[in-house]
Amino acid sequence: LLKDGTKEYNLNVQEGIVEFLNGSKTKTYGVNIDFLGPTIRVNKNDTLKMNVKNSLKEETVIHWHGLKVPGKNDGGPNRSIHPNDTWTTQFQINQRSSMCWYHPHTHEKTGEQVFKGISGLFIIDDEDSLNLDIPKNYGIDDIPLVVQDRRFDTQGQFLYKQSMHDTMMGVTGNFSLINGIVDPYVKVSAKTIRFRILNGSNARIYRFMFNDKRAFYQIAGDSSFLPKPVKMTTLLLSPGERAEILVDLSDLAGKGILFGDELGGKPLLKIFVKDEKAQKYEIPKKLTTINEYKNIIEANVREFELNIRPGWLAINGKQMDMKRIDEIVPLGKTEIWRIKNPQRMPHPFHIHGCSFKIISRNGNKPYLNESGLKDTVLLLSNETVNIAVKFEYESTKKYPYMYHCHILEHEDAGMMGQFIVK
């Protein structure tokens, strides 16, 4: 804490070594630690000063995924930090309570640097998150789950991109990690538990569920609480997306349950419930009010088509070019962005510098659990999604914002564009 109330953070992007598999020392990257990085917790209206030191032997940069900050603070590829240099950036938090995250955005190397371990959570609190009667004891009944998958070579080293297939399908792995741990477990009380889930994988899409198929409630998405809890039994989450869920485990005292992936079929997390008296709890009926993007009349429509052909990934027929600005977007005006995926491969589309609202999915209402604010939206095959979006800060030719597919190998291969807001 500085004298004027600014909160200062020192983030050192460094090399590390971790034993993920018995007897092998895996070379990793991390932020202040060997793998992944600390959770940053701030309040709405806080002013932050981030000192990002690059202690790697290659360029890197840290992007604040989900934060509404001006282009110059955003940490896009144009902000690349040389080895041994420090990037200092200062900004104010001006958005709703949500779980955002940070990760590198290095030109054509984002996928590899995230795979090696540079990622961390960035949690914002506001009146909603502080006042709601929901579990908030961090790590006890309010548990973050950073879900990622990795593959290793015979030496126990990370095995990153190997072939054209990896570029096209994205890099996936046969080991799943939660918070950097292979084969993780957690012990909780016999009560309702809140899990804050980040799909921090490079390319894998999960459909999360419990092995007894019990219902749970989603209470928040990427950038805000949902208006009301949404009851569900499976949760589809693509790379870059976040969800918060509440699950009642009060019937399981002395027993256990598995949290897993319906698509992948393997348990991701073992949950042991303590043998103690069950605690009853009622989920609030109402969580928040979304006033943003109401009554949109006469908004400019901007179209984005996601293109994929063997060895060529693009948006609107153009591959990412750091020297080209693809769109100029007016500051403070709500627009409709229409994102089209005319092909089979699913793509999570992410936009910097904003929280948007999904207006329609294939001409229908969006899913109930995407009725809050978001910054990443999954497009399955042949889907078209309309979103309402407004930018409250400028981005410049020197430090433009990005829109891109959050399958990191797609992003690195050119499925990304740059835009100015003015």
Cα separations in angstroms, 301 against 189, 328, 336: 49, 13, 5
**Contact between 109 and ligand C2O per CB under 6 A:** no
Q: How far is the CB of 205 from ligand C2O (least distance, A)?
A: 15
The interface partner of residue 116, options being ligand C2O, Cu ion, none and the CB cut-off 5 to 8 Å by kind, is none
Radius of gyration, alpha carbons of the chain: 21
User: Judged by CB under 6 A, which of 34, 36, 63, 356 binds ligand C2O?
Assistant: 63
Element (H, E) at 412: helix 408-412
Query: Which residues make beta-bridge pairs with 6?
Result: none
The residue among 65 and 68 lying less far from Cu ion, judged by its C-beta, is 65
Query: Which residues make beta-bridge pairs with 348?
Result: 378
Element (H, E) at 164: helix 164-169
Q: How far is the CB of 239 from ligand C2O (least distance, A)?
A: 8
User: Judged by CB under 6 A, which of 20, 30, 61, 65 binds ligand C2O?
Assistant: 65
- Distance of alpha carbon 235 from its chain centroid, rounded? 15
Q: How far is the CB of 103 from Cu ion (least distance, A)?
A: 8
Total residues contacting ligand C2O by CB under 6 A comes to 10
The two tokens of residue 318 are 């153009």
Interface region with Cu ion, contact rule CB under 5 A, candidates 31-39, 180-188, 192-200, 352-360 = 352-360
The interface partner of residue 404, options being ligand C2O, Cu ion, none and the CB cut-off 5 to 8 Å by kind, is ligand C2O
**Contact between 62 and Cu ion per CB under 5 A:** no
The interface partner of residue 407, options being ligand C2O, Cu ion, none and the CB cut-off 5 to 8 Å by kind, is Cu ion
Q: Residue 274 contacts by C-beta under 8 Å, 6 or more apart in sequence?
A: 187, 188, 189, 190, 253, 254
The residue among 105 and 204 lying less far from ligand C2O, judged by its C-beta, is 105
**Contact between 65 and Cu ion per CB under 5 A:** yes
Q: Nearest-CA neighbor of 257 among 197, 209, 319?
A: 209
The residue among 194 and 352 lying less far from ligand C2O, judged by its C-beta, is 352
**Contact between 204 and Cu ion per CB under 5 A:** no
Query: Which residues make beta-bridge pairs with 8?
Result: 49
Q: How far is the CB of 410 from Cu ion (least distance, A)?
A: 3
Interface region with Cu ion, contact rule CB under 5 A, candidates 4-12, 137-145, 218-226, 400-408 = 400-408
User: Judged by CB under 6 A, which of 373, 402, 405, 415 binds ligand C2O?
Assistant: 402
**Helix locations, 98-143, DSSP H:** 110-116, 127-131
Interface region with ligand C2O, contact rule CB under 6 A, candidates 258-266, 277-285, 332-340, 401-409 = 401-409
The two tokens of residue 280 are 């009853």
**Contact between 347 and Cu ion per CB under 5 A:** yes
Cα separations in angstroms, 80 against 63, 74, 130, 173, 303: 10, 11, 36, 28, 29
